[in-house]
Amino acid sequence: MEDQVSVNLNNTKFKLIERSRGRMKIQIKFSKEEAEGFKNFCMIKPEELADEMFYKQIFFAGCNTMTEQIQAMMKEREAELEKLEKQEADIPKTKPKKKSSETPVTGSKDESAKE
């Protein structure tokens, strides 16, 4: 039987602090349930890996995954735009018809109702 770990981040608070020399500090505040889920997730950490390094790897793995998803969405959008451009190029450009110099024949309402 496989165990599944689920972390819901709906109520999680993130705090980003810009530090000197281009450094950054990220603080994540979990609810009690979220903290429990994260602790359970961290149980899979290899013993030879330091906690801090494990957290960094989790963070950057998430960043890499999101980058890949965004790139895939951009490629899909570019393909859609190219397809639309090709469709527009295939539509024949029609010139507006010249108006006839003849006057159209119209009957009175009474005459057209009789027909």
User: What's the pTM value of the predicted model, to 2 decimals?
Assistant: 0.55
pLDDT tens-place string over residues 59-108: 999 999 999 999 999 999 999 999 999 888 887 766 666 666 666 666 65
Q: Does position 55 have pLDDT exceeding 80, yes or no?
A: yes
What distances in angstroms separate CA 7 from CA 31, 38, 59, 91, one per listed residue? Answer: 11, 7, 14, 50
pLDDT tens-place string over residues 9-53: 677 787 888 888 889 888 889 889 889 999 999 999 999 999 999
Q: Does position 1 have pLDDT exceeding 60, yes or no?
A: no
